[in-house]
């Protein structure tokens, strides 16, 4: 996946430089524009259509929410993260209703900024890698946890996610040996995760019979 384009709307020069500095510390993002007022930001965003807009709430000529509404009215395909000192409930609720993917309250640390953008990059990568989605994918992006996927002792969530990601993008049934080779793990390790996912109904198993010997198990996402 190529770098994600980012546009920053911020009228405070010092805060603008801080946000730009934070952005340069992250891999996978490219700053394609900046603006200190809503009118100029609107014109540039319409033209450039960045992947992501970092939007301040308080601008000299309009509110960030007014700009948000104008962009949505034009169906501009840019995601928006609010970066603002506004913390009152009505403002936060309206931003989330409009579809803000995150809401950062000033002042914030680099770690929170990094988390917001890395989560955005991760979800964007998954959205671009598939044409259809499972309920589990959507639940993960929304932060919904499922008790049914709690791992027993000895299994690791990161390893399981790596296996799930490969099965999702591969889209066709595969043996545990083939999967192990592709993800760089031991076959016995992959088999443990596949068997666990099968018991939870996340993975289905198909048996293919040859001329001799035992049938071969093929695994795929349900």
**pLDDT for position 165:** 84
Tokens 């890395």: give the residue: 118
CA 217 centroid distance within chain: 32
- Look at strands 203-208 and 216-221 and give their pairing: antiparallel
Assess whether pLDDT exceeds 80 at residue 211. no
Lowest average pLDDT, out of 50-54, 182-186, 200-204, goes to 200-204
pLDDT confidence of residue 40: 97
State in Å, rounded, how far the first CA of the chain is from the last one.
26
**Residue 42 CA to its chain's centroid (Å):** 25
Structure tokens at 2: 């190529």
CB 7 within 8 A of CB 53: yes
From CA 172, how far away is CA 107, in angstroms rounded? Answer: 47
Judge whether 76 and 49 are in contact, CB under 8 Å.
yes
Q: Give dist(CA 78, CA 220) in Å, integer.
A: 33
pLDDT band at 142 (very low <50, low <70, confident <90, very high): low
Q: Give the integer Cα–Cα distance in Å for 212 and 202.
A: 30
pLDDT for residue 39: 97
Q: Which helix (H) or strand (E) holds 128?
A: helix 110-128
Assess whether pLDDT exceeds 80 at residue 177.
yes
Relative to beta strand 79-84, strand 102-105 is parallel
Q: Tell me what pLDDT residue 149 has.
A: 53
Please say if the pLDDT value at position 62 is more than 90.
Answer: yes
For residues 26 and 118, is the Cβ–Cβ distance under 8 A?
A: yes
Confidence (pLDDT) at 102: 94
3-state class of 187 per DSSP?
Answer: helix
pTM exceeds 0.75 for this model: no
Which DSSP helix (H) or strand (E) runs through 67? helix 64-73
6 SS3 class = strand
């Amino acid at each position: 996946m190529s770098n994600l384009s980012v546009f920053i709307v911020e009228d405070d020069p010092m805060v603008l430089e801080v946000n730009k500095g934070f952005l340069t510390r992250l891999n996978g993002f490219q700053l394609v524009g900046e603006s200190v007022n809503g009118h100029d930001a609107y014109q540039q965003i319409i033209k450039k259509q960045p992947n992501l807009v970092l939007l301040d709430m308080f601008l000299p000529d309009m509110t960030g929410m007014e700009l948000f509404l104008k962009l949505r009215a034009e169906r501009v395909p840019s995601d928006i993260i609010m970066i603002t000192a506004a913390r009152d409930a009505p403002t936060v609720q309206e931003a989330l209703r409009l579809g803000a993917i995150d809401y950062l309250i000033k002042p914030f640390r680099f770690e929170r900024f990094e988390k917001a953008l890395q989560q955005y990059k991760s979800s964007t990568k998954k959205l671009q890698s598939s044409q259809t989605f499972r309920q589990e994918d959507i639940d993960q992006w929304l932060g919904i946890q499922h008790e049914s996927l709690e791992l027993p002792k000895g299994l690791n969530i990161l390893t399981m996610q790596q296996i799930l990601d490969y099965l999702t993008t591969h889209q066709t049934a595969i043996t545990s040996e083939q999967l192990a080779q592709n993800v760089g793990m031991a076959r016995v390790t992959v088999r443990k995760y596949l068997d666990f996912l099968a018991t939870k109904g996340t993975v289905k198993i198909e048996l293919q019979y040859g001329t001799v010997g035992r049938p071969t198990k093929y695994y795929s996402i349900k």
